[in-house]
Amino acid sequence: MLTQLRHIVESMTAAASLEQALQALVHLTRNVMQVDCCSVYVAEPERRCYRLAATDGLAESAVGKAFLPFEEGIVGLVGQREELINLADASAHPAFKLLPDVAEEAFRSFLGTPIMHQRQVVGILVVQQKESRLFDEGEESFLVTLAAQLAARIAHAQARSQLTRTDWGKPLRGVAGSPGVAIARAWVWRPRKELAAIVPRKADDPDAQLGRFDQAVEAVRHELEALALRFRESSSQDSVAIFDIYLHLLADPSYIKPIRLRIEQEEWTAISAVKLVSETLIGRFGSMQDPYLRERATDIKDIALRLISRLVQDEPEHLAISERVVLVAEEVTATILAEVPRDCLAGVVSIKGSSNSHTAILARAMGVPAIMGVEFPLAEIHRLMLVVDGYSGDLFVEPKEPILAEYRQLLHEEQALDQLVHSTDGQPSETLDGVKVSLLLNAGLSADTEIAINELADGVGLYRTEIPFMLHDSFPSEWEQTARYRGILETYRNRPVCMRTLDVGGDKQLPYFPIVEENPFLGWRGIRLTLDHPELFLVQLKAMLRASEGLDNLAVMLPMISSVGEIRAARRLLDQAWSEVSQEVATRGGTLHYPPLGVMIEVPSALYILPEMAPLIDFWSVGSNDLTQYLLAVDRNNARVASIYDSFHPAVIRALQLLVDSARRYGKPVSVCGELAGDPIGVLVLLAMGYRRFSMNTRNIPRIKYVLRNASLDELVPLLAEGLRSDSPHALRGLFSRYLEERGMGGFLRAGHKVTA
Ligand code: PEP
Ligand code: MG
């Protein structure tokens, strides 16, 4: 069954249009299931009806012309109930409705399943038989599996068909990733996937290439095992065999060994070596007489493409862009972003990812509007004119003049707002009723965000150290790290700089230190990794300490702390590093201050051990991005669950309240360095709770300062109390947005803005 399923799905993918794809689907499904009829109905929400989009068995002449209202017929019932309906005699069912011109009279039995995409019924898949019989469980599960596989393809195809229309009335909807508006042509970045299109290249880092290759093999093995597991339940011998062959191939020395040799001895890049060896084998198997062996050529190609697609994720092409563009890709990564010259980057659109992916955080730090998690066919968008609405997540393709005009106006207002917020540059950071706050900078994501703002920031609240590690080919040496850290400590001379120790793992991978895990966000990440590698941790701590000589403005912060044991272990290593470096400094006649040590609150367990933690640390800082992710068990990178990732969820708000109250009780400074602190509503809620130290990206500092200078704590405290009486995050957000609007600061909130043209 699996082979047939795959065949159907592949035939659909290969089809040039939605109509052809659905035609292939009904035809193949009818044959495979040996039924008398297969049809697909596609939902048309504006007309509130299903349209017969393809059939093999009903009257061909009705395709595209027969419509069934959502509320009518058994097809309508499948949609309403959002579940499968299996009937031996459909005509006897009270909901049965005979459509004129469809020629359905001959069929008695009916099996229909909804095609669901993102909680919406996008269509109904139906098979029918002349004889009266109930379909068996195997048939039911085949149809349900097929419908699940089709859902994204139909949604995708609908987006594609929208794209071929000349009327661009409707925008494509994504997740707002970074605020702002961009109007520019699309520049599509695509990984090199076709074997033939890869030009073999030599590398000068065979060890790193070998590491990347091994990592890709592991990753593909995991992918295949996960797929195998998914199909085990419904599997025939076929599926087991496919996965066996694939997994076997991945472990087969006659395939893997020559690739490794080409990397090690001939110094090809990992991608080139996979291409060269695979092509030779594909050629050899492809010309064999035996059809079984000939088929193996397809398997090798499949595996090779999986390996290559893994490898290219880490190795973007060199981008030759010389005009302002909207960068568009299946998955925009921090490294692809880094490749585009900043002057040319008007906006970002990523099919994968969500508002808290590091790419979105980076885009926000760079002040580049971004939309994440939006679906459309990549190939067709290249060079088309786009409007990126980074407030609402709406993407307009080839917009008409009224829309362009409205967005040009918005851009204009944006610039005016920028000027307005800078009018408070020389004034203190305090509220209307005189409450003083510290506005700190989140630095480290990209080099150019650090320098420009130093006059406005009261210091650095979070220096993410992992990015320089990610852009290297190997662990940066102690001296390289010292020079980099010294740069930032000197830039912020006389102001505190809080450096976070290495937080790799999760979605931040080092190309030369592969970590392959089923569940990376729950795995070897942050402090867990550095404590297991004291040799790396000590180098980083010593580099930070040495960089602070004579400046005395360093604080050290530990990411992903979940137990006091981790703090004690880190403290021991900091002591050791300090005693070594301070001796060295003393021999030069200098002095070295022991830095304050703080921890990030981002793992829920940390909230319940605050009393035990307090005596061991000097300050706390909330990583609201991860705290939200872990409290709500919602992957911060996953667009599918983006709507339930919400830092205003009552659980997150209570956790934040608990922390600020404890900080007061134990007399420890506390700050917020997640994205919530740079959000105009978030910062007001945090202020009302009792927070006074906020760390955010460069662009947000003047904006947040303006918001705070025009707000009164006196008014915010009762607002928070009122918001907390409701169990809905929307109520709290609504109250605070109204507050901003009433004080003329609605311009900071464009999230709800929708262009009407
Ligand atoms: C956070 O989790 O809120 C945080 C500031 O750290 P990062 O986004 O780097 O994980
Ligand atoms: Mg974090």
- pLDDT tens-digit series, residues 69-106: 999 999 999 999 999 999 999 999 999 988 878 888 88
Query: What pLDDT score does 256 carry?
Result: 92
347 lines ligand 1 (CB under 6 A): no
Indicate whether residue 525 lines ligand 1 (CB < 6 A).
no
Q: Which residues pair with 619 in a beta bridge?
A: 598
Q: What is the pLDDT of residue 691?
A: 98
Query: Which of 2-16, 471-485, 585-599 is modeled with the greatest confidence?
Result: 585-599
Q: Could you report the per-residue pLDDT of 52-70, keeping only the tens digit for each? A: 999 999 998 888 888 999 9
Give the pairing type, strands 85-87 and 109-117: antiparallel
Ligand having the closest approach to the CA of 365: 1
Q: Which ligand is nearest to the CA of 443?
A: 1
Say what the pLDDT of residue 378 is: 75
Q: What local confidence, expressed as pLDDT, does residue 268 receive? A: 92
Return the pLDDT at 315.
47
Average pLDDT over residues 672-683: 96
Residue from 464, 599, 697 whose mutation best tests the ligand 1 pocket (most atoms within 8 A of CB):
464
Ligand 1 contact, 673 CB (< 6 A): yes
Distance 625 CA to ligand 2 centre (A): 6
Tell me if 442 CB under 6 Å of ligand 1.
no
Residue nearest to atom 1 of ligand 1 (CA): 623
Among 590, 493, 594, CA closest to 551: 493
Give the residue, by CA position, lying nearest to ligand 1 atom 3.
623
Q: Which of 600, 601, 637 to mutate for ligand 1's pocket (most ligand atoms within 8 Å of CB)?
A: 600
Q: Is the shortest distance between the CB of 683 and ligand 1 below 6 Å?
A: no
* Long-range contacts from 14-22, C-beta under 8 angstroms, 24+ separation: 17/157, 17/161, 18/53, 18/154, 18/157, 18/158, 18/160, 18/161, 19/53, 19/54, 21/153, 21/157, 22/53, 22/54, 22/154
Indicate if the pLDDT at residue 199 is higher than 90.
Answer: no
Phi, psi of 392 (to 5 degrees): -100, -15
Report which of residues 376 and 546 the model is more confident about.
546
Catalytic residue set: 358, 673
Q: So what's the pLDDT on residue 753?
A: 42
Three-state DSSP state, 642: helix
Which residue, 507, 461, 515, is CA-closest to 356?
507
What's the pLDDT at 149? 78
Question: Counting ligands in written order, which one lies closest to the CA of residue 361?
Answer: 1
Mean pLDDT of 401-426: 87
Check whether 641 has a pLDDT greater than 60.
yes
Instruction: Say if residues 357 and 372 touch (Cβ distance below 8 Å).
Output: yes
Indicate whether residue 505 lines ligand 1 (CB < 6 A): no
CA of 601 to the centre of ligand 2 (A): 9
Using a 6 Å cutoff on CB, does residue 674 contact ligand 1? yes
Q: And the tokens for 145?
A: 């599996």
CA of 597 to the centre of ligand 2 (A): 17
Give, for ligand 1, the residue of 359, 673, 694, 697 to mutate: max count of ligand atoms closer than 8 Å to Cβ: 673
Q: Is 507 in the pocket of ligand 1 (CB under 6 A)?
A: no
Q: Is the pLDDT of residue 495 over 90?
A: yes
Mean confidence (pLDDT) of the chain: 86
pLDDT at 408 over 60: yes
Q: How many CB atoms lie within 10 A of CB 137?
A: 9
If residue 175 lies in a helix (H) or strand (E), which one and from where to where? strand 175-178
- Half-sphere exposure of residue 467: CA atoms within 13 angstroms, side-chain side: 23
Per-residue pLDDT, averaged over 326-348, amounts to 81
| Residue in this structure with the two tokens 């003329």, named with its chain if needed | 744
Nearest-angstrom CA–CA distance, 50 and 651? 41
Q: What's the pLDDT score for residue 638? A: 86
Relative to beta strand 394-397, strand 85-87 is: unpaired
What is the Å distance from ligand 2's center to 660 Cα? 18
Report how far residue 575's alpha carbon sits from residue 158's, in angstroms, rounded to the nearest whole number.
61
Task: List the residue whose alpha carbon is closest to atom 10 of ligand 1.
Answer: 626
Tell which atom from ligand 1 comes closest to the C-alpha of 466.
Answer: 9
Residue 526 Cβ contacting ligand 1 at under 6 Å:
no
Instruction: Give 621's strand partners.
Output: 600, 671
Nearest alpha-carbon partner for 493 in 459, 457, 444: 459
Lowest pLDDT segment from 370-379, 382-391, 626-635, 678-687: 370-379
259 alpha carbon to ligand 2 midpoint, in Å? Answer: 37
Q: How far is the CA of 622 from the centre of ligand 1 (A)?
A: 8
Q: What is the pLDDT of residues 107-125, one digit of tens each?
A: 999 999 999 887 789 899 9
Asked which of 165-169, 173-177, 382-386, 669-673 is least confident by mean pLDDT, the reply is 165-169
* Ligand 1 atom closest to Cα of residue 356: 8
The residue that leads in pLDDT, 651 or 470, is: 651
Residue 510 pairs in a beta bridge with 513
Distances (CA, A) of 407 to 254, 401, 410, 413, 663: 58, 10, 5, 10, 45
**pLDDT of 236 higher than 70:** no
Residue 610: name the closest of 569, 688, 559, 666 by CA: 666
Is pTM beyond 0.75? Reply is no
Q: Is the CB of 598 under 6 A from ligand 1?
A: no
Q: DSSP letters of 177-223?
A: EE-SEEEEEEEEE-----GGGPPP-B-S-HHHHHHHHHHHHHHHHHH
pLDDT band at 241 (very low <50, low <70, confident <90, very high): low
Residue 6 C-alpha to ligand 1 middle, in angstroms? 40
At 721-731, the pLDDT tens digits run: 999 998 888 89
Q: Count H helices, E strands: the chain?
A: 26, 22
Higher pLDDT, 243 or 80: 80
C-beta of 364 in contact with ligand 1 (< 6 A) = no
CA of 354 to the centre of ligand 1 (A): 14
- Split at pLDDT 50, 70, 90, the class of 612 is very high
Q: What is the mean pLDDT of residues 542-547?
A: 97
Q: How confident is the model at residue 747 (pLDDT cuts 50, 70, 90)?
A: confident
Comparing 2 with 756, which gets the higher pLDDT?
Answer: 2
Whether 636 is in the pocket of ligand 1, judged by its Cβ within 6 Å, is no
Mean pLDDT of 548-570: 97
464: CA distance to ligand 1 center in Å? 9
Confidence of residue 382 (pLDDT cuts 50, 70, 90): confident
Secondary structure in 3-state letters for 119-160: CEEEEEEEEEECCCCCCCHHHHHHHHHHHHHHHHHHHHHHHH
Q: What's the confidence (pLDDT) of residue 158?
A: 66
Using pLDDT thresholds of 50, 70 and 90, give the confidence band for residue 713.
very high
Is residue 464 lining ligand 1, measured as CB closer than 6 Å? yes
pLDDT score recorded for residue 220: 82
- The mean pLDDT value for 213-228 works out to 81
Task: Tell me, in angstroms, the distance from the centre of ligand 1 to residue 163's CA.
Answer: 37
* Confidence (pLDDT) at 471: 67
Per-residue pLDDT, 21: 82
pLDDT at 314: 53
Give yes or no for residue 235 having a pLDDT over 80. Answer: no
Q: What's the pLDDT score for residue 233?
A: 47
Report which protein residue has its CA nearest ligand 1's atom 4.
623
626 lines ligand 1 (CB under 6 A): yes
HSE-up of 588 (CA within 13 Å, CB side)?
Answer: 10
Mean pLDDT of 425-440: 95
| Ligand 1 atom at minimum distance from 673 CA | 5
Given a cut of 60, whether residue 342 has pLDDT beyond it is: yes
Where does residue 340 rank: exposed (0-12), middle (13-18), buried (19+ CB within 10 A)? buried
Q: Please give the number of the atom of ligand 1 that sits closest to the Cα of 623.
A: 3
Measured from the alpha carbon of residue 682, the closest ligand is: 1
Give the position, in ligand 1's atom list, of the atom nearest the Cα of 361: 8
**pLDDT at site 289:** 67
Split at pLDDT 50, 70, 90, the class of 167 is very low
With a 6 A CB cut-off, is 624 part of the ligand 1 pocket?
A: yes
Worst-scoring range by mean pLDDT, 23-32, 303-312, 516-525, 707-716?
A: 303-312
| Residue-level pLDDT at 169 | 58
Which is more confidently placed, 411 or 676?
676
- pLDDT (average), residues 619-629: 97
- Residue 237 banded pLDDT, cuts 50, 70, 90: very low
Alpha carbon of 394 to ligand 2 centroid (Å):
27
User: SS3 of 325, please?
Assistant: strand
Nearest Cα residue to 74 out of 39, 32, 116, 120: 39
Q: Whose CA is nearest to atom 9 of ligand 1?
A: 464
Buried b (16+ CB within 10 A) or exposed e, 403-431: bbebbeebbeebeebeeebeebeeeebeb
Query: In DSSP terms, which residues pair with 352 in a beta bridge?
Result: none
